Amino acid sequence: MQRLMTIAKIFSDKNRLDIFALLLRDKELCVCEICDTLNLSQPLVSRHLKQMREANILTTTQKKQWVYYSIFTRLDPILQCWEKEISANFSSLPNLIVCKKK
Asked if residue 30 belongs to a domain, the reply is yes
Asked if residue 67 belongs to a domain, the reply is yes
C-beta separation of 43 from 2 below 8 A: no
Asked if residue 32 belongs to a domain, the reply is yes
Burial of 52 (0-12, 13-18, 19+ CB in 10 A): buried
CATH number of the domain residue 42 falls in: 1.10.10.10
pLDDT in tens, 44-64: 999 999 999 999 999 999 988
C-beta separation of 1 from 8 below 8 A: no
pTM (global) more than 0.85:
yes
Asked if residue 35 belongs to a domain, the reply is yes
pLDDT at residue 102 in the model: 57
Total structural domains in the chain? 1
Asked if residue 89 belongs to a domain, the reply is no
Asked if residue 86 belongs to a domain, the reply is no
- Percentage of residues in the chain having pLDDT higher than 90: 57
Q: What is the average pLDDT value for the chain, to the nearest integer?
A: 89
CA distance 9 to 98: 29
In DSSP terms, 58 is beta-bridged to: 71
Residues in the chain, overall count: 102
Domain containing 19 equals 2-71
